[in-house]
Amino acid sequence: MKNAKIIIKQLLKAVIHLQEANIFHRDIKAENILIETGSKVPKIYLIDFGVSCFDDLKNYKHFHGTWVHVPPEFDRQGFHSSGPTNVWQVGLVLYYILHKKQFFTRGFLSKRLKINTRLSEKCKDFLTKCLTVDPEKRPTLEELLHHRWVDFSKNVSNFFLMQILLSFLFCKTYNRYVMPHRPLQAYFTVSQLRKADHVLSY
């Protein structure tokens, strides 16, 4: 469980940084997170900014990302905004890590996907808050960063955050950002590591 907390805490910090820079990733998912496995503490790298954009804090009437991960407000009302969408996508990453299965919004809303009752109360509370259906009741990324489940230690150094932020060179192309190079083979995606059943501990 500790490594899951470390991964999510680093992810929260990375997305908060993007948010402060007015960048909306739009497709945060397990396949777009690399984990460096050569150190005692996993270090994550958020990749694939191919559908990202500058965020003008408006309601978006088009969804760009993985359709099965669409936030419920877009599915029901036809629009969504960056802040609540970021939180929803952090939640679906954590769901995937903890449950060993892909998350899809309609399955969750129809109760076909459920949160494991054997998770700790703190973990269930964190995940439930991320996956709150009403976007206005969803917490902010900053609030989640101080949630009692992830605020377990001050030892998650800012060094790791700097590794995330400085690892990517962004190229501005038609109001989007793209990765200018392929990731090194020394890194694995969250989904690859989950299938291999190592590095992540629960």
Could you read off the pLDDT of 157-171 as tens digits, one per residue? 444 444 444 444 343
Q: Give the pLDDT of residue 58.
A: 87
Q: Give the pLDDT of residue 3.
A: 85
Burial of 57 (0-12, 13-18, 19+ CB in 10 A): exposed
Residue 56 annotated among the catalytic residues of the structure:
no
pTM: 0.78
Closest listed residue to residue 1, CA positions, set 200, 181, 174, 159:
200
Can you list the domains of the chain with their CATH numbers? 1-195 (1.10.510.10)
Share the mean pLDDT of the chain.
Answer: 81
Dihedrals phi, psi of 153, to nearest 5 degrees: -160, 145
